[in-house]
């Protein structure tokens, strides 16, 4: 009662004693006791501090009083069942939901960490500097945040003879090359193709493609034109015009891949020098031929002036083997002459002006009368020889 007297004026005390019986006095005493044990604490909820006066017995009761419901993942210090003491500090943080998607594998986390970097460290989610993360490490976490992480992997890029190992988080072949500042020209190719997706098993092979123009001069072979002449003995030939090769300039488009030619396409041809055909006169006078043959017989002639052309073992329609069995394929430098056997017997040893000694070892469909065909090693040699009027002599 002395304690009550200190709290209440005497007049009030008397009035209370008069008005209340014993039971009323007990209720009043209980009220006074509650007022006396009311204490002051500091509550820091999600960074906001508030001073609270309470008569709660535990932290849980206090939080109920101020309307804070503690979730399973929330952070609280001290614990819910801690007794309330005057001047105590209570810290509470609400956990935020974070959805982490690592290479399409999704997982949900709850955290009270403030930033992305703190959260990753707390959850032991180790990242390399090559990984692709949708948020920066110093960004603040908000409830429901979705964090996308693409883990980097290594692949090999082969550019011609150069090989480079690079880190990537995927995308198309073209995306990866652009990310590493590797430029492609319009014609260049890649394996896989530029729009194909890159995975951990992908290696990129770059094929550098170039197109260039090349011009080549080639000879245009002349043709032989025949004119029949009644003034010449039948079968006799006379060169009227020697003939001259023409020149054509061929333009090719050449495609190379990594320096190696893979295609050559003729895109233009221009004749810069016209050819001049060879013209020969062929005798048709049978009387003249008989007179010539008679004269030859009378003098037992073994020397003639003949029209000579040249051929090779690889000419069109040639077998490479002569009428007498000489293999010109195996003996490209062998001196052999194709003759008309009625004029020069096969097997004869002959001398041809400008050609030298040779064997009359072959025949030909166009070789008739005073005409021979000399064997040379190559077509270019045959082209150079052309048509000639030469002396031919049987020496054996």
Listed range (7-21, 56-70, 135-149) with the worst mean pLDDT: 7-21
Listed range (125-129, 184-188, 391-395) with the worst mean pLDDT: 125-129
HSE (side-chain half, CA atoms, 13 Å) at 328: 25
Confidence bin at 280 (pLDDT 50/70/90): confident
Confidence bin at 8 (pLDDT 50/70/90): very low
Confidence bin at 34 (pLDDT 50/70/90): very low
At 293 the pLDDT is: 56
At 11 the pLDDT is: 47
Query: What's the mean pLDDT when you consider all of the chain?
Result: 86
At 283 the pLDDT is: 85
Listed range (37-46, 308-317, 383-392) with the worst mean pLDDT: 308-317
Confidence bin at 295 (pLDDT 50/70/90): very low
pLDDT digits (tens, 9 = 90+) for 312-327: 988 766 778 898 989 9
pLDDT digits (tens, 9 = 90+) for 339-369: 999 999 999 999 999 999 999 999 988 898 9
At 26 the pLDDT is: 44
Torsion from C-alpha of 251, 255, 258, 261, nearest 10 degrees: -70
CA distance 206 to 223: 50
| 44 pLDDT higher than 80 | yes
Tokens of 328: 């010109």
Tokens of 170: 């995927």
Question: Which residue has tokens 């050449």?
Answer: 254
Mean pLDDT of 116-128: 91
**Residue 139 DSSP symbol:** S
**326-346 CB burial, b ≥16 within 10 A, e <16:** bebeeeeebbbbbbbeebbeb
Mean pLDDT of 214-241: 86
Phi then psi dihedrals of residue 97, to 5 deg:
-85, 130
Contact 93, 122 (CB under 8 A): no
Tokens of 42: 């500091």
Strands of 237-241's sheet in order across: 224-233, 278-285, 237-241
Contact 349, 334 (CB under 8 A): no
Contact 350, 392 (CB under 8 A): yes
CA distance 90 to 76: 8
At 298 the pLDDT is: 42
CA 79 vs CA 4, 55, 63, 92, 112: distances in Å: 36, 18, 11, 10, 16
Quote the percentage of the chain above a pLDDT of 90: 63
Confidence bin at 226 (pLDDT 50/70/90): confident
Mean pLDDT of 308-312: 92
pLDDT digits (tens, 9 = 90+) for 147-172: 999 999 999 999 988 999 999 998 99
**Residue 14 DSSP symbol:** H
Q: What is the pTM of this model?
A: 0.48
């Amino acid at each position: 009662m002395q304690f009550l007297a200190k709290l209440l004026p005497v007049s009030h005390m008397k009035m209370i004693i008069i008005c209340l019986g014993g039971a009323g006095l007990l209720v009043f005493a209980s009220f006074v006791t509650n007022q006396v044990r009311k204490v002051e604490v500091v509550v820091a909820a999600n960074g906001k501090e508030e001073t609270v006066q309470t008569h709660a017995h535990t932290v849980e009761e206090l939080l109920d009083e101020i309307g804070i419901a503690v979730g399973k993942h929330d952070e609280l210090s001290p614990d819910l069942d801690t007794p309330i003491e005057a001047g105590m500090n209570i810290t509470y943080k609400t956990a935020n939901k974070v959805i982490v998607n690592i290479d399409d594998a999704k997982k949900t986390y709850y955290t009270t960490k403030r930033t992305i970097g703190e959260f990753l460290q707390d959850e032991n989610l180790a990242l390399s500097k090559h990984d692709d993360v949708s948020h920066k490490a110093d960004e603040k976490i908000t409830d429901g945040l979705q964090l996308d992480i693409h883990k980097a992997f290594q692949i090999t890029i082969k550019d011609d003879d150069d090989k480079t190992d690079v880190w990537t988080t995927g995308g198309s072949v073209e995306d990866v090359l652009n990310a590493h500042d590797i430029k492609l020209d319009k014609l260049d190719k890649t394996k896989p193709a530029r729009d194909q997706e890159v995975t951990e098993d992908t290696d990129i092979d770059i094929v550098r493609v170039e197109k260039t123009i090349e011009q080549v001069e080639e000879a245009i072979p002349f043709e032989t034109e025949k004119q029949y002449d009644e003034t010449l003995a039948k079968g006799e030939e006379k060169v009227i015009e020697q003939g001259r090769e023409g020149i054509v300039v061929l333009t090719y488009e050449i495609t190379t891949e990594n320096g190696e030619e893979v295609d050559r396409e003729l895109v233009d041809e221009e004749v810069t020098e016209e050819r001049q055909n060879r013209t020969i006169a062929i005798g048709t006078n049978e009387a003249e031929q008989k007179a010539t043959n008679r004269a030859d017989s009378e003098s037992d002639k073994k020397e003639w002036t003949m029209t000579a052309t040249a051929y090779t073992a690889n000419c069109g329609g040639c077998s490479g083997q002569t009428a007498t069995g000489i293999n010109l394929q195996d003996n490209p430098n062998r001196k052999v002459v194709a003759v008309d056997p009625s004029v020069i017997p096969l097997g004869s040893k002959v001398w041809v002006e400008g050609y030298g000694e040779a064997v009359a070892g072959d025949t030909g469909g166009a070789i008739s009368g005073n005409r021979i065909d000399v064997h040379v090693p190559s077509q270019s040699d045959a082209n150079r020889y052309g048509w000639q009027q030469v002396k031919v002599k049987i020496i054996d």
